[in-house]
Amino acid sequence: ATKIPFRLNQNQALLTFEDEEVALRLTKMSKHCVNLDNRTANVTVKPFELDMGFQFELHVTVSGKKINVSDIPELPIPDDWMRDKLELHFYKTEQAEGGGEIEDVTYNKGSGTAVITFLKPGASYSFVGCTKYPFCAEERWFILSVSPHFDFHLRRFQPHCRVSKKTILLKGISEVEEDEESVQDMIEIHFQKPSNGGGEIENIKYISRGAAYVCFEE
């Protein structure tokens, strides 16, 4: 699941309670008078909702027919010639048994890379044990890098809207001279008291200046 950051703005606070019923009860009360160092702040409790996110499964498999080749030298020869040289080279090499007959060579001259596709399934496994291969072209020797080719499949992709049933959002906290930590403590004390409709707090975050981005876990 994608992590969706929630923007907590100036003079706002997020409170997560141990019990869902406490958060629901405080939300229904809506308005609360919080004592902040001999000053009363009329704060508003809002239900907390995250923006739309996405869930998906990413399945990764190692291709048994393809390999990635990089560090291919840029030479003053036509692209077709380079493809032919790569095909011949990986059909049979001294460092491995070779992949056998090749079905396709996709060559990108600009990036110096290629994807070699063999005809026989499992042929690419012959190249797993070694990542560097000498390559001769235009009477010069070069070293090519070889790596497995991965196939990615996205499944069960679906949007979701997360609601934290244990969390409330406080708005309208008035500015005071005390430091942020002290104000946060006073807010926590108020909402922990059963007489104020509160309960045990699992986590709290208060911002007096600027903004913060908060991520929630399942």
- Spell out the domain ranges in the chain: 4-52+166-216, 57-154
Mean pLDDT of all residues in 175-196: 85
Q: Which SS3 state, helix, strand or coil, does residue 194 take?
A: helix
- What is the reported pLDDT for 111? 93
Q: Which SS3 state, helix, strand or coil, does residue 183 take?
A: helix
Share of the chain above pLDDT 90, in %: 25
Q: How confident is the model at residue 80 (pLDDT cuts 50, 70, 90)?
A: very high
Is 105's pLDDT higher than 90?
Answer: yes
Query: When comparing pLDDT for 163 and 40, which is higher?
Result: 40
Q: How confident is the model at residue 1 (pLDDT cuts 50, 70, 90)?
A: low
Centre a 10 Å sphere on the Cβ of residue 6 and count the other Cβ atoms it contains: 19
Question: pLDDT of 119-162, one tens digit each?
Answer: 888 888 877 777 888 888 888 899 999 999 988 888 888 777 66
Q: What are 70's two structure tokens?
A: 């990089």
Assess contact for 25 and 166: CB atoms under 8 A. no
Q: Which of 142, 153, 193 is nearest to 32 (CA)?
A: 193
Q: 111's torsion region: left (phi>0), alpha (psi -120 to 50) or beta?
A: alpha
Q: Which of 146, 164, 141 is nearest to 69 (CA)?
A: 146
**Superfamily designation of domain 57-154:** RRM (RNA recognition motif) domain (3.30.70.330)
Cβ neighbours for 132, distance < 8 A, ≥ 6 positions apart: 143, 144, 145, 146
Mean pLDDT of all residues in 24-29: 87
- What is the reported pLDDT for 44? 85
Assess contact for 168 and 23: CB atoms under 8 A. yes
Assess contact for 120 and 65: CB atoms under 8 A. yes
- What is the reported pLDDT for 2? 61
- What is the reported pLDDT for 71? 94
Q: How confident is the model at residue 173 (pLDDT cuts 50, 70, 90)?
A: confident
Mean pLDDT of all residues in 187-201: 90
Question: pLDDT of 83-100, one tens digit each?
Answer: 999 998 888 764 455 667
E strands in 25-108: 31-35, 40-70, 102-108
Assess contact for 143 and 135: CB atoms under 8 A. yes
> Looking at this protein, which amino acid is placed at residue 110?
G
Average pLDDT along the chain:
84
* Model pTM above 0.75: no
Cα 67 to Cα 131: distance, rounded to the nearest angstrom? 11
> Looking at this protein, which amino acid is placed at residue 137?
A
